A and B are shown apart, each in its own frame.
Chain A
Amino acid sequence: MVDAALLAQHAVNALMLGIMYALVAVGFTLFFGVLDVIKFSHGDVLTVGAFTGLTVWLALVAVDLATPWLAVALLVLVPALATALLGALIGRFVVLPLKGAPPLNVLLATLMCGTILREAIRLFYPGGANPKPFPALLPTTAYQLGNLNLRLDSVLLFLTGVAIVVALHLVINRTRLGLAIRAVAQDAEIARVMGIDHVRTVLITFAIGSALAAVAGIMHGLYYNEINFSMGLLLGVIGFSSAVVGGLGNVYGAILGGFLFAFLQTLGAMAMPFASAYRDVFAFAVVIAIMAVRPTGLIAERGVERA
């Protein structure tokens, strides 16, 4: 019998992981939406975001400006802008030139791109081969709500993630840019005929998706107080799986998929507390089973003809 307090703790943890996975998965699904490509450098772009955040922090400490709120703001903004640029560059110089090539080539090219980023961090970031402590910048005040011990930093991180997802929803559904992104995703050729600048829309989408990955990476760092050069590998695979199980191309499917994966992991960890590494095995196994039953994902974005 699992006791209520532990259960609640697991639930909080699952929500935290869920929002991070959702942010990564949304990137995969956006890229696939506008260009029908799997951009496998996404996880390593996340790592670059996290290390950019760490660098910003070290710089702030060095110039003695490390007040927590300023630090938090810059630790989100600077990495988000940096990875937005990085994502757009990869789009412009790796993905777009491969237009018309078999999808497998794009997958390989971006996979290699990711490897370069990862190895570059390991080799060239000072001490990059080792795990790096990440500062705990958010207030860790704890609240006791009945059985539940809730820490303020978790709440803030979760709410930030939710706010970003809501903002993304509004951009996609309420703005001219969002209309362009959806039009390109549904019929890229006709979108061009409507006067939508295809390259620009694709690159902005890559920038947005990559900025979300940086946010996820920073959240991961703030939550676990540690980052390392390979953190993007597993996060990337998990984000990709979440996007696929949710229905590649569908933003809400990706969010759903992210939370689903986190809950599966948590369930696995609860069922097998003696071997927490098995939680991923369990989660991936269930995802594979879901894919067998629903090949188009939970929310099918395209008609059956594309399935």
Chain B
Amino acid sequence: MSALLRLEGVRAAYGHADVLVDVSLTVEEGRIVCLLGANGAGKTTLIRCVLGLTLLRGGRIFYADHEITHLPTHRRVALGIGCIPEGRRVFPKLTVEENLLAGAYQERSWTRIREQLERVYTVFPRLAERRGQLAGTLSGGEQAMLSIGRGLMRRPRLLLVDEPSLGLSPLLVRENFRVLEEIHGSGVTIFLVEQNVRQTLRIAHYGYVLAGGRLVASGTPEVLRADPALQAAYFGSATA
């Protein structure tokens, strides 16, 4: 197996506050790799670094043999990195369909865009019913679906997923995990940030634990479940 994404000694900070300290990790192609950690651990910041939204203070990032440390965001997207961002962030004043089209912005072939639209509408029939509705007027659950669908439109090779189930009912959370497995089944490598430790470790192949901006543990789900660092990272709240 080859590394699709590799971080080497990544440092990031907001002002004078260090948020990521010497983070090195690898996401193997074809896997679901998760990043666990308490609120404020730096998980979203790490995703932002991979996307080029937050600039590194040090370290390097490689994607599929390219160094992408200094590439602007849209060029990284062109290489096949997609994202389902924290907090859904749908475009509120675009319709459902326009949101999906924005997700396919770099796709030039109309046939392929239409194919992808149909695929997303098959996974989320609710979105098809509401394709002309402004995204800002969707329910939270529907916005979550839209955000996922939008992230799939460009058929990414690596999908960065930041807390997709935040604020959803248990039923929708389960549904979300099922969809993620389905996406993975279609050949997409997934890097998943989640607070939902138990369900995340059930679908992940490998995981990292972040605490206070440092990696404190890593391993397969079996290893992580037994790791006291994981319990500590969640202040014992994890019922793994």
Residue numbers in B under 8 Å from A186 (CB-CB):
91-94
Pick the interface stretch among B12-20, B77-85, B199-207, B230-238: B77-85
B66 at the A/B interface (Cβ < 8 Å)?
A: no
User: Count of chain B residues with Cβ under 8 Å from any Cβ of A?
Assistant: 23
Pick the interface stretch among B97-105, B118-126, B171-179: B97-105
A97 at the A/B interface (Cβ < 8 Å)?
A: no
Give bound CA distance, A199 to B73, whole Å.
11
- The verdict on A193 contacting B93 (CB below 8 Å), with A179-B98, A179-B102, A183-B102 known, is no
Give bound CA distance, A187 to B103, whole Å.
13
Q: In whole Å, how far is B69's beta carbon from the nearest beta carbon of chain A?
A: 16
Q: Which 9 A-B pairs have the closest CB atoms?
A: A195-B77, A192-B73, A195-B106, A186-B91, A190-B89, A197-B74, A195-B105, A183-B102, A194-B102
B-contacting residues of A (Cβ < 8 Å)?
176, 179-180, 182-183, 186-187, 189-199
Q: Which of these, B52, B78, B91, B106, contacts A190 with CB under 8 Å?
A: B91
CB pair A194–B93 under 8 Å, yes or no, is no
Q: Is the interface of A mostly helix, strand, loop or mixed?
A: helix
Q: Which of these, B53, B85, B98, B154, contacts A195 with CB under 8 Å?
A: B154
Query: How many interface contacts (CB-CB < 8 Å) are there between A and B?
Result: 63
Residue numbers in B under 8 Å from A180 (CB-CB):
102, 105
CB pair A193–B105 under 8 Å, yes or no, is no
Q: In whole Å, how far is B131's beta carbon from the nearest beta carbon of chain A?
A: 15
Q: In whole Å, how far is A180's beta carbon from the nearest beta carbon of chain B?
A: 7
CB pair B85–A179 under 8 Å, yes or no, is no
B31 at the A/B interface (Cβ < 8 Å)?
A: no
Q: Which of these, A176, A179, A192, contacts B53 with CB under 8 Å?
A: A192
Tell me the nearest residue of chain A to B107, going by C-beta. Answer: A195
Q: In whole Å, how far is A253's beta carbon from the nearest beta carbon of chain B?
A: 13
Q: In whole Å, how far is A186's beta carbon from the nearest beta carbon of chain B?
A: 5
Residue numbers in A under 8 Å from B157 (CB-CB):
none
CB pair A195–B74 under 8 Å, yes or no, is yes
Residue numbers in A under 8 Å from B103 (CB-CB):
194
Q: List 14 A-B contacts (CB under 8 A).
A: A176-B105, A179-B105, A182-B91, A183-B105, A186-B91, A186-B93, A190-B89, A192-B73, A194-B105, A194-B154, A196-B105, A198-B72, A198-B73, A198-B74
